[in-house]
Amino acid sequence: MAQDRGNSMDASGQPGAPSETGHLPPAAGRPGVAVAASALPGDADPRLHQYAAQAHKAASHKAQFPSLDARPIDVAYFPKQLPPEYWEQIGVPGQYPFTRGVHVNMYRGKPWTMRMFAGFGTPEDTNRRFKFLLQQGQTGLSTAFDMPTLMGYDPDHAMAEGEVGREGVSVCSLSDMERLFGDIPLGQVSTSMTINAPAIVMLALYVAVAERQGVPYDQISGTLQNDILKEFIAQKEWISPPRPSMRIIRDMLVFCTKNLPKWNTISISGYHIREAGATAAQELAFTLADGIGYVQAGIEAGLDVDEFAPRLSFFFDVHNDFFEEIGKLRAARRLWARIMKERFGAKNPRSMMLRTHCQTAGVSLTAQQPMNNVVRTTWQALSAILGGTQSLHTNSLDETYALPTEGAAKLALRTQQLLLEESGVANAVDPLAGSYFVEKLTDEMEEEALYYIRKIDDLGGIVRAVELGYPQREIAESAFAFQRRVESGERKTVGVNAYVEEQSDAIPLLHIDHEVEQSQIARCREHKQNRDQAASSAALQGVHAACRDGSNLVVAILAAVKVGVTLGEISDVFRSEFGVYRDPAFM
Protein backbone atom coordinates (compact mmCIF):
# COMPACT_ATOMS: atom_id res chain seq x y z
CA MET A 1 0.00 0.00 0.00
CA ALA A 2 1.41 3.40 -1.00
CA GLN A 3 2.40 5.81 1.74
CA ASP A 4 0.71 9.22 2.02
CA ARG A 5 2.98 11.64 0.19
CA GLY A 6 1.42 14.85 1.51
CA ASN A 7 0.51 17.88 -0.60
CA SER A 8 3.28 17.86 -3.21
CA MET A 9 3.05 20.52 -5.92
CA ASP A 10 4.26 19.95 -9.47
CA ALA A 11 6.32 22.46 -11.46
CA SER A 12 3.21 24.33 -12.58
CA GLY A 13 2.13 24.88 -8.99
CA GLN A 14 -0.83 22.49 -9.20
CA PRO A 15 -1.52 19.64 -6.75
CA GLY A 16 0.52 16.62 -7.68
CA ALA A 17 -1.06 13.45 -9.06
CA PRO A 18 0.25 9.98 -9.87
CA SER A 19 2.15 9.88 -13.16
CA GLU A 20 1.20 7.67 -16.09
CA THR A 21 3.73 5.12 -14.87
CA GLY A 22 1.99 4.89 -11.50
CA HIS A 23 4.70 6.77 -9.56
CA LEU A 24 3.55 9.27 -6.97
CA PRO A 25 4.95 12.82 -6.79
CA PRO A 26 7.89 13.61 -4.47
CA ALA A 27 7.31 13.83 -0.73
CA ALA A 28 6.18 17.19 0.60
CA GLY A 29 8.32 17.15 3.69
CA ARG A 30 8.12 14.55 6.42
CA PRO A 31 10.88 15.07 9.04
CA GLY A 32 14.21 14.19 7.48
CA VAL A 33 12.82 14.15 3.94
CA ALA A 34 13.96 16.68 1.35
CA VAL A 35 11.48 19.32 0.30
CA ALA A 36 11.27 20.16 -3.39
CA ALA A 37 11.18 23.77 -4.52
CA SER A 38 7.73 23.22 -6.06
CA ALA A 39 6.39 21.35 -3.03
CA LEU A 40 7.00 23.85 -0.25
CA PRO A 41 4.51 23.98 2.61
CA GLY A 42 2.84 27.32 3.14
CA ASP A 43 4.75 28.04 6.34
CA ALA A 44 8.18 27.51 4.72
CA ASP A 45 10.75 30.31 4.94
CA PRO A 46 9.65 33.14 2.58
CA ARG A 47 13.10 33.09 1.00
CA LEU A 48 12.49 29.53 -0.15
CA HIS A 49 9.19 30.53 -1.69
CA GLN A 50 10.97 33.39 -3.44
CA TYR A 51 13.59 31.00 -4.78
CA ALA A 52 10.92 28.55 -5.95
CA ALA A 53 9.22 31.31 -7.91
CA GLN A 54 12.52 32.36 -9.50
CA ALA A 55 13.53 28.79 -10.32
CA HIS A 56 10.31 27.89 -12.06
CA LYS A 57 10.27 31.19 -13.93
CA ALA A 58 13.83 30.70 -15.20
CA ALA A 59 14.31 29.37 -18.71
CA SER A 60 14.97 25.64 -19.12
CA HIS A 61 16.42 23.81 -22.08
CA LYS A 62 13.88 20.98 -21.60
CA ALA A 63 10.24 20.98 -20.52
CA GLN A 64 10.75 18.22 -17.94
CA PHE A 65 13.62 16.54 -16.13
CA PRO A 66 12.33 13.10 -15.09
CA SER A 67 14.31 10.19 -13.72
CA LEU A 68 14.95 7.09 -15.81
CA ASP A 69 11.59 5.61 -14.76
CA ALA A 70 9.74 8.93 -15.32
CA ARG A 71 9.78 10.06 -11.71
CA PRO A 72 9.47 13.88 -11.73
CA ILE A 73 12.61 15.63 -10.47
CA ASP A 74 12.32 19.16 -9.13
CA VAL A 75 14.86 21.92 -9.61
CA ALA A 76 16.29 21.84 -6.06
CA TYR A 77 15.72 20.28 -2.64
CA PHE A 78 15.95 21.61 0.91
CA PRO A 79 15.66 20.30 4.47
CA LYS A 80 12.27 20.81 6.10
CA GLN A 81 13.87 22.47 9.12
CA LEU A 82 16.52 25.07 8.27
CA PRO A 83 19.17 25.53 10.96
CA PRO A 84 20.07 29.15 11.86
CA GLU A 85 23.34 29.11 9.93
CA TYR A 86 21.75 27.76 6.73
CA TRP A 87 21.41 31.10 4.92
CA GLU A 88 24.91 32.25 5.80
CA GLN A 89 26.63 28.98 4.88
CA ILE A 90 24.51 27.31 2.19
CA GLY A 91 21.56 29.37 0.98
CA VAL A 92 19.84 28.79 -2.35
CA PRO A 93 21.31 28.37 -5.85
CA GLY A 94 22.05 31.58 -7.70
CA GLN A 95 22.21 33.77 -4.60
CA TYR A 96 24.94 34.90 -2.20
CA PRO A 97 27.04 33.13 -0.95
CA PHE A 98 26.59 30.90 -4.04
CA THR A 99 27.58 27.71 -2.21
CA ARG A 100 24.91 25.83 -4.17
CA GLY A 101 25.85 27.27 -7.56
CA VAL A 102 26.02 30.55 -9.44
CA HIS A 103 22.76 30.10 -11.35
CA VAL A 104 19.20 29.62 -10.09
CA ASN A 105 18.53 26.45 -12.05
CA MET A 106 22.07 25.55 -13.16
CA TYR A 107 22.15 22.85 -15.86
CA ARG A 108 18.37 22.83 -16.28
CA GLY A 109 18.75 26.33 -17.73
CA LYS A 110 21.84 25.57 -19.82
CA PRO A 111 24.09 22.51 -19.69
CA TRP A 112 27.72 23.13 -18.82
CA THR A 113 29.90 24.06 -21.81
CA MET A 114 31.78 21.05 -23.16
CA ARG A 115 35.10 22.69 -23.94
CA MET A 116 37.69 20.14 -25.04
CA PHE A 117 41.30 21.34 -25.03
CA ALA A 118 42.74 21.00 -28.55
CA GLY A 119 45.84 22.11 -30.39
CA PHE A 120 48.69 20.54 -32.30
CA GLY A 121 50.81 20.99 -35.39
CA THR A 122 49.97 23.76 -37.81
CA PRO A 123 47.01 26.13 -37.49
CA GLU A 124 45.27 24.12 -40.22
CA ASP A 125 45.74 20.88 -38.23
CA THR A 126 44.09 22.40 -35.16
CA ASN A 127 41.37 24.08 -37.22
CA ARG A 128 40.38 20.63 -38.52
CA ARG A 129 40.31 19.27 -34.93
CA PHE A 130 38.16 22.23 -33.82
CA LYS A 131 35.66 21.52 -36.57
CA PHE A 132 35.67 17.78 -35.79
CA LEU A 133 34.89 18.44 -32.13
CA LEU A 134 32.15 20.94 -32.97
CA GLN A 135 30.62 18.36 -35.31
CA GLN A 136 30.69 15.83 -32.44
CA GLY A 137 28.66 18.15 -30.20
CA GLN A 138 31.30 20.21 -28.42
CA THR A 139 29.88 23.56 -27.38
CA GLY A 140 33.00 25.73 -27.00
CA LEU A 141 36.59 25.89 -28.23
CA SER A 142 39.71 25.61 -26.08
CA THR A 143 43.11 26.24 -27.61
CA ALA A 144 46.41 24.61 -26.63
CA PHE A 145 49.58 26.30 -27.89
CA ASP A 146 53.00 24.74 -28.37
CA MET A 147 55.91 25.44 -26.05
CA PRO A 148 57.65 28.08 -28.22
CA THR A 149 54.40 30.07 -28.44
CA LEU A 150 53.83 29.78 -24.69
CA MET A 151 57.36 31.03 -24.01
CA GLY A 152 57.16 33.89 -26.51
CA TYR A 153 59.34 32.53 -29.33
CA ASP A 154 58.64 32.40 -33.06
CA PRO A 155 59.14 29.01 -34.75
CA ASP A 156 62.30 30.27 -36.51
CA HIS A 157 64.03 31.03 -33.19
CA ALA A 158 66.82 28.71 -32.05
CA MET A 159 65.02 28.14 -28.73
CA ALA A 160 62.05 26.66 -30.61
CA GLU A 161 63.98 23.88 -32.32
CA GLY A 162 62.36 20.47 -31.92
CA GLU A 163 59.24 21.83 -30.17
CA VAL A 164 57.23 23.52 -32.92
CA GLY A 165 53.70 22.13 -33.03
CA ARG A 166 54.50 19.24 -30.70
CA GLU A 167 52.56 20.06 -27.52
CA GLY A 168 50.04 22.41 -29.08
CA VAL A 169 49.46 24.58 -32.11
CA SER A 170 52.16 26.91 -33.43
CA VAL A 171 50.94 30.52 -33.76
CA CYS A 172 53.19 33.56 -34.21
CA SER A 173 51.41 35.96 -36.57
CA LEU A 174 48.06 37.34 -37.66
CA SER A 175 48.09 35.05 -40.69
CA ASP A 176 48.59 32.04 -38.38
CA MET A 177 45.65 33.14 -36.24
CA GLU A 178 43.44 33.58 -39.30
CA ARG A 179 44.22 30.04 -40.43
CA LEU A 180 43.58 28.71 -36.92
CA PHE A 181 40.04 30.09 -36.93
CA GLY A 182 39.35 29.77 -40.64
CA ASP A 183 35.61 29.31 -41.36
CA ILE A 184 34.84 29.55 -37.63
CA PRO A 185 32.66 32.64 -36.96
CA LEU A 186 34.14 34.30 -33.89
CA GLY A 187 30.92 36.21 -33.24
CA GLN A 188 29.08 32.92 -32.68
CA VAL A 189 31.54 30.77 -30.75
CA SER A 190 33.16 31.18 -27.35
CA THR A 191 36.91 30.55 -27.41
CA SER A 192 39.28 29.81 -24.56
CA MET A 193 43.03 30.26 -25.03
CA THR A 194 45.47 28.75 -22.57
CA ILE A 195 48.44 31.09 -22.67
CA ASN A 196 49.98 33.38 -20.06
CA ALA A 197 53.29 35.19 -20.52
CA PRO A 198 52.51 36.37 -24.10
CA ALA A 199 48.73 36.38 -23.52
CA ILE A 200 48.49 40.06 -24.43
CA VAL A 201 49.80 39.25 -27.92
CA MET A 202 47.31 36.40 -28.37
CA LEU A 203 44.49 38.70 -27.28
CA ALA A 204 45.55 41.25 -29.90
CA LEU A 205 45.77 38.59 -32.62
CA TYR A 206 42.32 37.25 -31.74
CA VAL A 207 40.74 40.72 -31.72
CA ALA A 208 42.39 41.52 -35.06
CA VAL A 209 40.98 38.33 -36.64
CA ALA A 210 37.52 39.12 -35.24
CA GLU A 211 37.78 42.61 -36.75
CA ARG A 212 38.62 41.12 -40.15
CA GLN A 213 35.55 38.87 -39.82
CA GLY A 214 33.45 41.96 -39.14
CA VAL A 215 32.66 41.00 -35.53
CA PRO A 216 31.94 44.04 -33.31
CA TYR A 217 33.96 44.29 -30.11
CA ASP A 218 30.85 43.80 -27.98
CA GLN A 219 30.22 40.41 -29.61
CA ILE A 220 33.71 38.95 -29.10
CA SER A 221 33.37 36.32 -26.37
CA GLY A 222 35.76 33.92 -24.75
CA THR A 223 38.39 33.50 -22.08
CA LEU A 224 42.10 34.15 -21.92
CA GLN A 225 43.96 32.29 -19.19
CA ASN A 226 46.38 35.18 -18.65
CA ASP A 227 47.24 34.04 -15.11
CA ILE A 228 50.92 34.88 -14.78
CA LEU A 229 51.01 34.49 -10.99
CA LYS A 230 50.34 30.75 -11.16
CA GLU A 231 53.19 30.50 -13.69
CA PHE A 232 55.62 31.79 -11.07
CA ILE A 233 54.02 29.50 -8.49
CA ALA A 234 53.70 26.30 -10.49
CA GLN A 235 53.91 25.98 -14.27
CA LYS A 236 57.08 28.04 -14.84
CA GLU A 237 56.24 29.49 -18.27
CA TRP A 238 57.18 33.16 -18.01
CA ILE A 239 59.08 35.94 -19.76
CA SER A 240 59.59 38.87 -17.39
CA PRO A 241 59.60 39.22 -13.57
CA PRO A 242 56.37 39.34 -11.53
CA ARG A 243 55.90 43.09 -11.17
CA PRO A 244 56.21 44.11 -14.85
CA SER A 245 54.14 41.05 -15.71
CA MET A 246 51.40 42.38 -13.44
CA ARG A 247 51.63 45.74 -15.24
CA ILE A 248 50.87 43.93 -18.52
CA ILE A 249 47.83 42.27 -16.96
CA ARG A 250 46.69 45.61 -15.54
CA ASP A 251 46.67 47.08 -19.06
CA MET A 252 44.67 44.12 -20.33
CA LEU A 253 42.14 44.49 -17.53
CA VAL A 254 41.63 48.15 -18.43
CA PHE A 255 41.38 47.54 -22.19
CA CYS A 256 39.00 44.58 -21.95
CA THR A 257 36.81 46.27 -19.35
CA LYS A 258 36.39 49.29 -21.61
CA ASN A 259 36.14 47.50 -24.96
CA LEU A 260 35.29 43.78 -24.69
CA PRO A 261 32.28 43.37 -22.38
CA LYS A 262 31.86 39.64 -23.13
CA TRP A 263 35.52 38.71 -22.72
CA ASN A 264 36.82 36.96 -19.60
CA THR A 265 40.14 38.76 -19.20
CA ILE A 266 41.74 36.34 -16.71
CA SER A 267 40.99 32.70 -15.99
CA ILE A 268 42.52 32.42 -12.54
CA SER A 269 43.98 28.96 -12.65
CA GLY A 270 44.37 26.48 -9.84
CA TYR A 271 44.73 23.64 -12.32
CA HIS A 272 48.47 23.90 -12.77
CA ILE A 273 48.99 24.56 -9.08
CA ARG A 274 47.30 21.22 -8.33
CA GLU A 275 49.15 19.43 -11.12
CA ALA A 276 52.42 20.63 -9.58
CA GLY A 277 51.58 18.75 -6.38
CA ALA A 278 49.45 21.07 -4.26
CA THR A 279 46.74 19.67 -2.02
CA ALA A 280 43.11 20.52 -2.77
CA ALA A 281 43.10 23.16 -0.01
CA GLN A 282 46.37 24.68 -1.28
CA GLU A 283 45.01 24.79 -4.82
CA LEU A 284 41.93 26.61 -3.53
CA ALA A 285 43.92 29.02 -1.36
CA PHE A 286 46.63 29.98 -3.83
CA THR A 287 44.12 30.34 -6.66
CA LEU A 288 41.92 32.72 -4.68
CA ALA A 289 45.02 34.57 -3.45
CA ASP A 290 46.00 35.09 -7.09
CA GLY A 291 42.48 36.35 -7.72
CA ILE A 292 42.83 38.83 -4.86
CA GLY A 293 46.05 40.07 -6.47
CA TYR A 294 44.35 40.66 -9.83
CA VAL A 295 41.37 42.43 -8.29
CA GLN A 296 43.74 44.69 -6.39
CA ALA A 297 45.60 45.42 -9.64
CA GLY A 298 42.37 46.42 -11.35
CA ILE A 299 41.40 48.73 -8.52
CA GLU A 300 44.88 50.32 -8.51
CA ALA A 301 44.44 50.94 -12.25
CA GLY A 302 41.41 53.09 -11.43
CA LEU A 303 38.67 50.59 -12.25
CA ASP A 304 35.62 50.15 -10.07
CA VAL A 305 35.51 46.57 -8.82
CA ASP A 306 32.03 46.04 -10.25
CA GLU A 307 33.28 47.17 -13.67
CA PHE A 308 35.66 44.27 -14.17
CA ALA A 309 35.13 41.57 -11.53
CA PRO A 310 32.12 40.01 -13.32
CA ARG A 311 34.43 39.09 -16.21
CA LEU A 312 37.00 37.25 -14.08
CA SER A 313 36.69 33.48 -14.24
CA PHE A 314 38.43 30.52 -12.62
CA PHE A 315 39.91 27.19 -13.65
CA PHE A 316 40.21 24.26 -11.25
CA ASP A 317 41.67 20.78 -11.35
CA VAL A 318 39.33 17.91 -10.48
CA HIS A 319 41.39 15.14 -8.92
CA ASN A 320 40.69 11.61 -7.75
CA ASP A 321 39.02 12.19 -4.37
CA PHE A 322 35.41 12.45 -5.50
CA PHE A 323 33.83 14.18 -2.50
CA GLU A 324 36.85 16.33 -1.64
CA GLU A 325 36.71 17.95 -5.07
CA ILE A 326 33.00 18.69 -4.71
CA GLY A 327 33.64 20.30 -1.34
CA LYS A 328 36.48 22.34 -2.85
CA LEU A 329 34.31 23.81 -5.60
CA ARG A 330 31.46 24.64 -3.22
CA ALA A 331 33.90 26.25 -0.76
CA ALA A 332 35.53 28.21 -3.60
CA ARG A 333 32.25 29.88 -4.51
CA ARG A 334 31.38 30.76 -0.92
CA LEU A 335 34.83 32.05 -0.07
CA TRP A 336 35.17 34.16 -3.22
CA ALA A 337 31.71 35.68 -2.68
CA ARG A 338 32.72 36.75 0.82
CA ILE A 339 36.09 38.09 -0.32
CA MET A 340 34.51 40.20 -3.02
CA LYS A 341 31.73 41.53 -0.80
CA GLU A 342 33.60 42.06 2.45
CA ARG A 343 37.16 42.78 1.31
CA PHE A 344 36.56 44.70 -1.91
CA GLY A 345 33.09 46.12 -1.30
CA ALA A 346 31.55 44.64 -4.44
CA LYS A 347 27.85 45.42 -4.77
CA ASN A 348 26.97 43.64 -8.01
CA PRO A 349 26.13 39.97 -7.27
CA ARG A 350 27.86 39.01 -10.52
CA SER A 351 31.13 40.34 -9.06
CA MET A 352 30.74 37.82 -6.25
CA MET A 353 30.08 34.83 -8.51
CA LEU A 354 32.94 32.40 -8.93
CA ARG A 355 32.36 31.04 -12.43
CA THR A 356 34.71 28.19 -13.22
CA HIS A 357 35.99 25.87 -15.89
CA CYS A 358 37.19 22.48 -14.70
CA GLN A 359 39.52 19.91 -16.18
CA THR A 360 40.03 16.37 -15.03
CA ALA A 361 43.41 15.68 -13.44
CA GLY A 362 46.11 15.04 -15.99
CA VAL A 363 48.54 14.09 -13.24
CA SER A 364 46.22 11.25 -12.17
CA LEU A 365 46.46 9.50 -15.54
CA THR A 366 48.84 6.57 -15.87
CA ALA A 367 50.87 5.18 -18.75
CA GLN A 368 50.33 1.74 -17.24
CA GLN A 369 46.96 0.23 -18.19
CA PRO A 370 45.86 3.40 -20.02
CA MET A 371 42.27 2.17 -20.50
CA ASN A 372 41.82 2.72 -16.75
CA ASN A 373 42.16 6.43 -17.48
CA VAL A 374 38.68 6.43 -19.02
CA VAL A 375 37.24 5.40 -15.65
CA ARG A 376 39.31 7.93 -13.70
CA THR A 377 38.21 10.72 -16.03
CA THR A 378 34.56 9.74 -15.71
CA TRP A 379 34.30 10.06 -11.94
CA GLN A 380 36.41 13.21 -11.97
CA ALA A 381 34.01 14.74 -14.53
CA LEU A 382 31.06 13.66 -12.41
CA SER A 383 32.66 15.35 -9.41
CA ALA A 384 33.04 18.59 -11.37
CA ILE A 385 29.39 18.49 -12.43
CA LEU A 386 28.11 17.79 -8.95
CA GLY A 387 30.42 20.56 -7.73
CA GLY A 388 28.75 23.03 -10.09
CA THR A 389 31.26 23.78 -12.86
CA GLN A 390 30.29 26.05 -15.78
CA SER A 391 32.44 24.32 -18.37
CA LEU A 392 34.44 21.13 -18.49
CA HIS A 393 37.31 19.43 -20.29
CA THR A 394 37.69 15.68 -19.92
CA ASN A 395 41.19 14.31 -20.49
CA SER A 396 41.79 11.61 -23.07
CA LEU A 397 43.08 8.18 -22.13
CA ASP A 398 46.27 8.56 -24.21
CA GLU A 399 47.53 11.88 -22.82
CA THR A 400 50.33 10.31 -20.78
CA TYR A 401 51.90 9.28 -24.10
CA ALA A 402 51.06 12.02 -26.59
CA LEU A 403 48.48 14.57 -27.65
CA PRO A 404 45.06 12.94 -28.07
CA THR A 405 44.06 11.13 -31.21
CA GLU A 406 40.67 11.96 -32.74
CA GLY A 407 39.23 8.73 -31.36
CA ALA A 408 40.49 9.35 -27.83
CA ALA A 409 39.27 12.97 -27.89
CA LYS A 410 35.86 11.85 -29.10
CA LEU A 411 35.59 9.27 -26.31
CA ALA A 412 36.51 11.94 -23.75
CA LEU A 413 33.78 14.21 -25.16
CA ARG A 414 31.29 11.33 -25.18
CA THR A 415 32.04 10.87 -21.47
CA GLN A 416 30.56 14.31 -20.80
CA GLN A 417 27.64 13.72 -23.15
CA LEU A 418 26.80 10.42 -21.43
CA LEU A 419 26.84 12.12 -18.04
CA LEU A 420 24.54 14.86 -19.30
CA GLU A 421 22.10 12.78 -21.31
CA GLU A 422 21.94 9.47 -19.45
CA SER A 423 23.01 9.76 -15.80
CA GLY A 424 20.43 12.22 -14.47
CA VAL A 425 23.03 14.12 -12.42
CA ALA A 426 22.14 17.43 -14.08
CA ASN A 427 18.42 17.27 -13.28
CA ALA A 428 18.57 18.89 -9.84
CA VAL A 429 20.77 21.72 -8.60
CA ASP A 430 23.51 20.81 -6.09
CA PRO A 431 21.98 17.40 -5.31
CA LEU A 432 24.54 16.64 -2.58
CA ALA A 433 23.67 19.73 -0.52
CA GLY A 434 22.82 18.79 3.04
CA SER A 435 25.04 15.72 3.05
CA TYR A 436 26.75 15.72 6.42
CA PHE A 437 29.99 14.66 4.75
CA VAL A 438 29.92 17.13 1.84
CA GLU A 439 28.94 20.09 4.00
CA LYS A 440 31.71 19.25 6.48
CA LEU A 441 34.25 18.98 3.64
CA THR A 442 33.05 22.32 2.27
CA ASP A 443 33.56 23.97 5.67
CA GLU A 444 36.99 22.38 6.13
CA MET A 445 38.15 23.48 2.66
CA GLU A 446 37.13 27.04 3.41
CA GLU A 447 38.89 27.05 6.78
CA GLU A 448 42.12 25.58 5.41
CA ALA A 449 42.17 27.97 2.45
CA LEU A 450 41.64 30.95 4.74
CA TYR A 451 44.72 29.92 6.75
CA TYR A 452 46.91 30.22 3.64
CA ILE A 453 45.25 33.44 2.43
CA ARG A 454 45.87 35.11 5.80
CA LYS A 455 49.48 33.94 5.72
CA ILE A 456 49.91 35.48 2.26
CA ASP A 457 48.33 38.74 3.48
CA ASP A 458 50.80 38.78 6.37
CA LEU A 459 53.69 38.41 3.89
CA GLY A 460 52.51 41.50 2.00
CA GLY A 461 50.24 40.03 -0.67
CA ILE A 462 50.55 37.40 -3.35
CA VAL A 463 53.20 39.12 -5.46
CA ARG A 464 55.49 39.49 -2.47
CA ALA A 465 54.70 35.92 -1.36
CA VAL A 466 55.75 34.67 -4.82
CA GLU A 467 58.96 36.69 -4.65
CA LEU A 468 59.68 35.12 -1.26
CA GLY A 469 58.88 31.63 -2.60
CA TYR A 470 56.17 30.83 -0.07
CA PRO A 471 53.59 29.12 -2.33
CA GLN A 472 56.37 27.36 -4.24
CA ARG A 473 57.79 25.80 -1.07
CA GLU A 474 54.39 24.72 0.22
CA ILE A 475 53.57 22.98 -3.07
CA ALA A 476 56.96 21.29 -3.28
CA GLU A 477 56.57 19.87 0.23
CA SER A 478 53.07 18.58 -0.54
CA ALA A 479 54.21 16.99 -3.80
CA PHE A 480 57.09 15.26 -2.05
CA ALA A 481 54.86 13.97 0.74
CA PHE A 482 52.32 12.59 -1.76
CA GLN A 483 54.99 10.86 -3.83
CA ARG A 484 56.40 9.22 -0.72
CA ARG A 485 52.94 7.80 0.06
CA VAL A 486 52.69 6.38 -3.46
CA GLU A 487 56.16 4.87 -3.38
CA SER A 488 55.60 3.33 0.04
CA GLY A 489 52.36 1.77 -1.16
CA GLU A 490 50.27 3.70 1.35
CA ARG A 491 48.49 5.42 -1.53
CA LYS A 492 47.31 2.88 -4.09
CA THR A 493 47.36 3.64 -7.82
CA VAL A 494 45.85 0.86 -9.89
CA GLY A 495 48.32 -0.38 -12.49
CA VAL A 496 51.26 1.39 -10.86
CA ASN A 497 51.62 -0.04 -7.35
CA ALA A 498 48.47 -2.15 -7.18
CA TYR A 499 47.09 -4.78 -9.58
CA VAL A 500 50.21 -4.39 -11.69
CA GLU A 501 50.56 -6.15 -15.06
CA GLU A 502 53.76 -6.77 -16.97
CA GLN A 503 52.41 -5.27 -20.19
CA SER A 504 50.03 -2.37 -20.70
CA ASP A 505 47.31 -2.19 -23.33
CA ALA A 506 48.55 -1.07 -26.73
CA ILE A 507 46.77 2.08 -27.92
CA PRO A 508 47.10 4.18 -31.09
CA LEU A 509 49.03 7.42 -30.66
CA LEU A 510 49.09 10.76 -32.45
CA HIS A 511 52.38 11.49 -34.21
CA ILE A 512 53.45 15.00 -35.23
CA ASP A 513 55.37 14.89 -38.50
CA HIS A 514 58.75 16.64 -38.64
CA GLU A 515 57.46 18.56 -41.67
CA VAL A 516 55.17 20.54 -39.38
CA GLU A 517 58.15 22.34 -37.88
CA GLN A 518 59.76 22.98 -41.23
CA SER A 519 56.58 24.36 -42.75
CA GLN A 520 55.94 26.69 -39.81
CA ILE A 521 59.51 27.98 -39.90
CA ALA A 522 59.18 28.63 -43.63
CA ARG A 523 55.86 30.42 -43.17
CA CYS A 524 57.23 32.57 -40.37
CA ARG A 525 60.24 33.65 -42.43
CA GLU A 526 58.06 34.33 -45.47
CA HIS A 527 55.70 36.41 -43.34
CA LYS A 528 58.55 38.54 -42.02
CA GLN A 529 59.99 39.06 -45.50
CA ASN A 530 56.70 40.05 -47.16
CA ARG A 531 55.28 42.50 -44.60
CA ASP A 532 55.63 46.27 -44.78
CA GLN A 533 59.02 46.58 -43.10
CA ALA A 534 58.76 50.28 -42.33
CA ALA A 535 55.30 49.93 -40.80
CA SER A 536 56.23 46.89 -38.72
CA SER A 537 59.45 48.55 -37.49
CA ALA A 538 57.57 51.68 -36.47
CA ALA A 539 54.87 49.66 -34.71
CA LEU A 540 57.48 47.68 -32.82
CA GLN A 541 59.05 50.94 -31.64
CA GLY A 542 55.58 51.91 -30.48
CA VAL A 543 55.52 48.84 -28.22
CA HIS A 544 58.93 49.83 -26.81
CA ALA A 545 57.59 53.32 -26.11
CA ALA A 546 54.44 52.02 -24.40
CA CYS A 547 56.57 49.87 -22.11
CA ARG A 548 58.51 52.97 -21.06
CA ASP A 549 55.85 55.68 -20.86
CA GLY A 550 53.11 53.65 -19.15
CA SER A 551 50.51 53.93 -21.92
CA ASN A 552 48.23 50.97 -22.50
CA LEU A 553 50.19 48.12 -24.06
CA VAL A 554 47.15 46.45 -25.65
CA VAL A 555 46.62 49.45 -27.92
CA ALA A 556 50.25 49.42 -29.08
CA ILE A 557 50.38 45.64 -29.54
CA LEU A 558 47.07 45.52 -31.43
CA ALA A 559 48.44 48.11 -33.84
CA ALA A 560 51.65 46.09 -34.18
CA VAL A 561 50.12 42.70 -34.99
CA LYS A 562 47.90 44.29 -37.63
CA VAL A 563 50.99 45.30 -39.62
CA GLY A 564 52.72 41.96 -39.25
CA VAL A 565 54.76 42.16 -36.04
CA THR A 566 55.07 38.65 -34.57
CA LEU A 567 54.54 37.21 -31.12
CA GLY A 568 58.25 36.50 -30.72
CA GLU A 569 59.24 40.03 -31.66
CA ILE A 570 56.83 41.56 -29.14
CA SER A 571 58.01 39.13 -26.47
CA ASP A 572 61.57 40.20 -27.21
CA VAL A 573 60.51 43.78 -26.44
CA PHE A 574 59.35 42.56 -23.02
CA ARG A 575 62.68 40.83 -22.51
CA SER A 576 64.51 44.01 -23.45
CA GLU A 577 62.35 46.50 -21.52
CA PHE A 578 61.32 44.46 -18.47
CA GLY A 579 64.09 41.89 -18.16
CA VAL A 580 64.05 38.10 -18.13
CA TYR A 581 62.89 36.23 -15.04
CA ARG A 582 64.96 33.37 -13.65
CA ASP A 583 63.53 30.95 -11.11
CA PRO A 584 65.28 31.55 -7.77
CA ALA A 585 64.59 27.87 -6.90
CA PHE A 586 63.45 28.55 -3.34
CA MET A 587 64.08 25.71 -0.93
- pTM (2 decimals)? 0.92
User: Smallest Cα–Cα separation from 327: which of 284, 292, 359?
Assistant: 284
Length of the chain: 587
Q: Are 555 and 255 in contact (CB under 8 A)?
A: yes
User: How high does pLDDT run on average in the chain?
Assistant: 92
Sheet-wide strand order for 391-393: 263-264, 222-224, 191-194, 140-144, 113-118, 391-393, 356-360, 312-318, 266-269
Q: Could you write out the DSSP letters of every residue in 66-109? A: B-TT--B--S-EE-SS--TTHHHHT--TTSTT-TT-SSSSHHHH
User: Smallest Cα–Cα separation from 393: which of 278, 269, 284?
Assistant: 269
pLDDT at 587: 55
User: Smallest Cα–Cα separation from 118: which of 395, 420, 518?
Assistant: 395
Walk along the chain (587 residues) and give the pLDDT tens digit of each residue.
Answer: 333 322 222 333 333 333 333 333 333 333 444 577 777 888 889 999 999 999 989 989 998 899 999 999 999 999 888 888 999 999 999 999 999 999 999 999 999 999 988 999 999 999 999 999 999 999 889 999 999 999 999 999 999 999 999 999 999 999 999 999 999 999 999 999 999 999 999 999 999 999 999 999 999 999 999 999 999 999 999 999 999 999 999 999 999 999 999 999 999 999 999 999 999 999 999 999 999 999 999 999 999 999 999 999 999 999 999 999 999 999 999 999 999 999 999 999 999 999 999 999 999 999 999 999 999 999 999 999 999 999 999 999 999 999 999 999 999 999 999 999 999 999 999 999 999 999 999 999 999 999 999 999 999 999 999 999 999 999 999 999 999 999 999 999 999 999 999 887 889 999 888 899 999 999 999 999 999 999 999 999 999 999 999 999 999 999 999 999 999 999 999 999 999 999 887 65
The neighbour count for residue 450, using CB atoms within 10 Å, is: 18
Q: Kindly report, as residue ranges, where domains of CATH 3.20.20.240 are found in the chain.
A: 111-424+458-486
Q: Architecture of 111-424+458-486 per CATH?
A: Alpha-Beta Barrel (3.20)
DSSP 356: E
Condensed to tens digits (0 to 9), the pLDDT of residues 349-384 reads: 999 999 999 999 999 999 999 999 999 999 999 999
